[in-house]
Amino acid sequence: MHENAEWPSNGLAIEGDFSGIQRFVLRPTPGAGGAARRLRARSFRVLALTRIVADAVESHFRNEKARLFYSAGGRFLVFAGRCHDWRERLASLQRDLDRDLLHTYRGELVFHLGAAEFNDGKIPVNCLAETMRMRKRTPLQGALIDGQRWAKDGFFRTVTSPEKCQGCGATGETVARQDERLCQACIDDQELGASLLGRGDFGLTPSDSGAIALLGRRWTAARNGRIPIRLIPHAPQDGGNLLTFDQLAKRAPGRSYLAYLRIDADRIGEKFRHQNGDARKTVELSNQLNDAFSSKVGALLAREFPDLYPVYGGGDDLFLIGPWNAVFDFAEKYRAEFRTIRNGELTFSAGVALARPREHILTKSEEAEEAIHRAKVTRDSIHALGATIPFADFSRVLSCARNLARLHGAGQVRSALLYNLMELHHRYRALKNAGSSSGTSDQELGNSERGLLWHALLFYQITRNTSGETAELLRKEFLTPGYNWKYADFIARYAMLVAGKKGED
């Protein structure tokens, strides 16, 4: 989104922000081939609705020369000239939106509008933040009060034989489609998703039969539509068909697992606040982040990771699903690229959850989010397979894991040794945790009798059970102080995953 609008010296700043995006986008339950397509449609829908609301704000304030300043993820910022009745006009638009979203999206998606005046040539960040905070305490107010009652007939169609939709889990009227029973919304999403396959810039065009409806108008996705929508232009395909999660999982070596990867830029609110409302700097930061999480990701996927499926990317976060090993490789490569923007000023944290192909997307995504919270403790880190690894160490750890997996595959490392490694590492961790609660330093622990025990046992294991390249690798990686022993659990688990049989749990 490279709007070249100039922020005026005074006027009205209008901000728009979606909430509920994650639950809305991730609702499709996996299953047959349609899930990936519906996910794609839903993330397109969120970006599309954001731009449609921005468009509505622009036309509501047309006389005040309203213009979009930027839009990223589910947010936008518009500026306009001041007018005496902006509060009423914005409130009426908010009411229409609330009613419409409650009706069309069963209240799953809520859009918040907020505005503040300014006369110092800056974005009134504090004022906008306060307005948004207030608004978010009373979501959907416009539809729920205002003398309205929950009109059952109005909001929810009367259903003769309610059934659970196998696409989104909602109860309603369903229709048999291939091997699933789906509600109309899911069928629309499936068709929308199919039309979004392939490369090219998609946009929105008004259309009476369009699948996206808001504020009395319908829109459809089209190449080079009037309102450009930046969806990561990549989807794993085979002969023009979107690969299903089952097919993707089978592309992993060893166990047929998927990994869910969520990435979230570190301290982003703070970074924006540091721009002190400077419009040029703020839009620059927003564009850089949005580029990094959308087009840069798309380019990397097309170049090196065709099997990864981007669920969404933009704003300040990214979510993708793919064969578990490819997800780790991607995290390593992408982090290196991300560090090149703004001269290494920005970092991100990543969380990974392993999943079987038919597990519930929302549940697994929440697990990946929980993993991000763990990574955020140190920031610039990844939490995966039960370990938190700073990105500074990640390449080294991953390379060791790949080597160990290779030796295991070649029969030079037995599974029993991997279990022993994990067991010793477990004891080491327990000691370390006990040490840190009693204030013992790593150094003291290393020198203590109990601390040395795992070291001696490991040395014994290596000497007795391995030889040649394996013994050399294990000694270097795990017995050299300050090397990879800290991450031995991750490394052993990785090697076990590679060795696991197809379809094994």
Which positions lie near Zn ion, rule CB under 5 A?
165, 167-168, 183, 186
Based on CB atoms, which residue is closest to Zn ion, 106 or 402? 106
Cβ neighbourhood burial of 459 (10 Å; 0-12, 13-18, 19+): middle
**Max Cα distance, the chain (Å):** 84
State the minimum distance, in angstroms, from the CB of residue 483 to Zn ion.
51
φ, ψ of residue 198 to 5 degrees: the values are 90, 170
State the minimum distance, in angstroms, from the CB of residue 188 to Zn ion.
9
Based on CB atoms, which residue is closest to Zn ion, 132 or 183? 183
Residue 493 falls in which region: left (phi positive, over 0), alpha (psi -120 to 50) or beta: alpha
Based on CB atoms, which residue is closest to Zn ion, 183 or 242? 183
Based on CB atoms, which residue is closest to Zn ion, 97 or 168? 168
Residue ranges of alpha helices (H) inside 118-274 are 125-137, 141-144, 152-155, 184-195, 245-250, 268-273
> What angle (nearest 5°) sits at the alpha carbon of residue 163, between those of residues 157 and 169?
95
Distances (CA, A) of 264 to 175, 316, 392, 430: 38, 6, 17, 30
State the minimum distance, in angstroms, from the CB of residue 165 to Zn ion.
3
φ, ψ of residue 84 to 5 degrees: the values are -70, -25
Based on CB atoms, which residue is closest to Zn ion, 27 or 493? 27
Distances (CA, A) of 10 to 117, 119, 212, 393: 8, 4, 35, 48
State the minimum distance, in angstroms, from the CB of residue 170 to Zn ion.
5
Based on CB atoms, which residue is closest to Zn ion, 168 or 252? 168
φ, ψ of residue 7 to 5 degrees: the values are -70, 125
Based on CB atoms, which residue is closest to Zn ion, 56 or 361? 361
Strand 217-223, strand 227-229: pairing: unpaired
